[in-house]
A and B are shown apart, each in its own frame.
Chain A
Amino acid sequence: MTDAAPNPNGAVGGGLAARNAAEAVRRSLKRRYAAERRFRMYGILAVAFAVCMLGLLFTTIVSKAVPAFTQTMINLEVTLHAQDIDPQGTRDRETLATANYRSIVRRAVFDLFPDVTSRRDKRALFDMISPGAVFAVRDLVLANPMLIGERVTVRVPMSDDIDQLNKGAIRKDVPEAERRVKDKQIAWFERLENRGAIETVFNSTFFTAGDSREPELAGIRGAAMGSFFTMLVTLLVSFPLAVAAAIYLEEFAPVNKWTQTIEVNINNLAAVPSIVFGLLGLAVFINFLGMPRSAPVVGGLVLALMTLPTIIIAARSALKSVPPSIREAAYGLGASPLQVIAHHVLPLAMPGILTGTIIGMAQALGETAPLLMIGMVAFIVDVPHGALDPATVLPVQIYLWADSPERAFVERTSAAICVLLGFLILMNVSAVLLRKRFERKW
């Protein structure tokens, strides 16, 4: 068909219509391109918005967390007189552990400023040192009783208020009554700085200690170990159960009312609020089975129940995506149903199952609500050594610190969030890598 010249055979109308249609298309083309560009723009805007929010979240958390990784310390010259620690000279551990190190540290602190004499001032001066100093000296003596009688230099943490002053979080220019560090203490601190007794070091306590009410002594290790044991129990319980359930439902179960009901229920369970699992855990594991409160084993079991549906759903779709030709080929070669699944289908579905498991575990790692019911929202100083020791987990630790009045806990809260985010990123990255490496496309 041509629209260059009018057609003499009476097909004028047809040619005109075609021309008009082409014209209409050409005219609308611009609008359609614009619509498409707009649509793309919306997508880009949505992604940019999400990236901005994420960036904002990360920068605020990380910038707030940075000060938590350093700690202000003081080098204190301590004289370990034998008559204070071990007058009988027995070097008995019990005697060494219970000696009055407080007075030893006090004397060392007062020796820094012999001109401080009044009771009130002495108290203010001693308050500048963390209560942890006393335990640091004790641990030193316990580790090396040969030091008794010597004069040693010990590096001990300063109190959280002085630490905040040193980091600039407590400002010197506000009136004295409105800050927790008094003018005198600032003057002493500056004198100590001039003498070179003050050092700002990497805060290793944060990674090696359990929780504490003194921010300078508080650490994330207790919560991290608690999270580790809880996740271990969750994995050991939920993974085999979920895989077994998924295999049965996908490969063996007949399609009838019962299996359909089960399927609907599994999907429902995945959407049940997590606190409900906590109530269940309290009723079944603690009240009925008599398991201990605050133990990672109970936390792990509760979180396993919570993760089960997630893993089952992921595992089923992974099994479903293995092409029937694999099964048929195996059957054709005479493999039994068990052999078909164990030797062929399951290995091929494994990357998908593992991805689902890791995502489910990452979800469980960030959960606090169900743990409230089973006593894991608690103040626990000792670092747990097993799944039966009382423990708390990372997100609970964040919650507890965020709720503490001491100013120095603000930065530690952010630091703990960083640690938790680090674990989550690690888990999600490994899920992506597993998929990339082992997934097969048909």
Chain B
Amino acid sequence: MFRKSLAVAAVAGMALSLANAAEARDQIRIVGSSTVFPFSTAVAEQFGKTTKFKTPVVESTGSGGGLKLFCAGIGAQHPDMTNASRRIKKSEVENCAKNGVTDIVEVKVGYDGIVLANSKVSAQMKLTRKQLYLALAKDIPAGEGKLIPNPHKTWKDVDASLPDIKIEVLGPPPTSGTRDAFAELALEGGCKSFGWIKAMKKQDKKKYKAICHSIREDGAYVEAGENDVLIVRKLEANPKAFGVFGYSFLDQNADKIQGSLIDGKSPTFEAIADGSYPVSRPLFFYVKKAHVGSIPGMKEYVAEFTSEKAFGPDGYLADKGLIPMGDKERNKFREDGAQLRNNIDL
């Protein structure tokens, strides 16, 4: 009996104090992409330790999920910023506006390279995006205007210059932003090299996308979950397999795995930074302007993220695997962030 009344009292007490908690919030809340998560958290930690503000809470929800939460409205129960491994879409801006989130500041933080890698035990692979498309697409073109299910079993089937080993690529599942970016940058890049498919982009965009972005499901591409560490381990165990993941995992495991050359470019820090490595994408975060002022520290967080010691070429984010932008771009986004410029223009 006593225990029960104690429990009731505790629950009632919680319910009362909740009312207060929901109103005021003195801590920044960030949601969004799992790719930006390691960088965002590093900044959040640095920010919490070096300023008088509390350490922001960073959630890893994925780019789309983050923007959905971000656009849900204005008020302490909605997040203040969201990370994204792609640009915000027009539909998302409209959705935001519908819920009263009209002033959004876009800050680009740098680039992320997506690598195709294999174990150091095997030879390094040299591929073009076209070969990659022919190896991994669900259907491949056979002559003008005709598609056949991908018949290639080994890399040699794709191109006689490639080694005679089975095509086996471990990569992220369809829910992952990394996979979207890989399909868009690597596969579509190869897909476009067929003239008639490229011409289709203008007439039937949906079909064009279906042809270029569909990855085969017959076992050559293995969905290995969102955990990139796991893919790296599997590559070590199976020297014939290849893996698809973010550059920072290659950087951390350079003693065990090697990145394949794509279109003659090796996935190095420099090649991704200057844009010559073809499979790289920009990373962003978005700031809700309406919250600046009511949530303490937002301006200072943006300033920390865009400072030279964070996203600069020698900054601590570069150590974590972020590929920095050029001087001009860095200055532009630092300026935009400091002024809280409403800079989305789609």
- Chain A residues near B (Cβ < 8 Å): 97, 123, 127, 131, 135, 170-171, 174, 177-180, 212-214, 233, 236-237, 239-240, 244, 286, 289-295, 297, 342, 375, 377-382, 387-388, 390, 400, 402-407, 410
Contact = CB atoms under 8 A, between A and B. Distances in A.
Top 8 A-B pairs ranked by shortest CB distance? A381-B55, A379-B41, A378-B59, A379-B58, A178-B255, A213-B42, A236-B7, A405-B252
Contact of B14 (A178, A375, A387, A405): A387
Contact of A381 (B18, B44, B248, B251): B44
10 contacts: A179-B254, A214-B45, A289-B18, A291-B18, A292-B77, A377-B60, A379-B60, A380-B55, A382-B48, A405-B228
Contacts of A293: 29, 59, 77
B314 interface: yes
Contacts of B14: 233, 297, 387-388
B215 to A, nearest CB: 22
Given A179-B254, A213-B38, A404-B38, 5 more contacts: A135-B49, A293-B29, A379-B45, A381-B55, A402-B227
Given A295-B21, A405-B38, A213 B320 contact: yes
A289 B316 CA distance: 40
B18 A375 contact: no
Nearest to A291: B18
Given A294-B57, A377-B59, A378-B59, A405 B11 contact: no
Given A236-B10, A381-B44, A405-B252, A290 B58 contact: no
Nearest to A406: B252
B44 A379 contact: yes
Contacts of A240: 3-4, 7-8
Nearest to A119: B314
B45 A212 contact: yes
Interface residues of B, number: 52
B107 to A, nearest CB: 19
Nearest to B47: A381
B176 to A, nearest CB: 12
A289 B14 CA distance: 13
Contacts, number: 115
B203 interface: no
A431 to B, nearest CB: 19
A177 B251 CA distance: 10
B160 interface: no
A379 B27 contact: no
A388 B29 CA distance: 15
Contacts of B269: none
- Residue picked from A127, A237, A295, A375, most chain B C-beta under 10 Å: A375
Nearest to B257: A178
Interface string B248-264: 11011111000000000
Contact of B252 (A177, A236, A407): A407
A381 B38 contact: no
Contacts of B37: 379
B237 interface: no
Interface in B1-54: 1, 3-4, 7-8, 10-11, 14, 17-18, 21-22, 25, 27, 29, 34, 37-38, 40-42, 44-46, 48-49, 52, 54
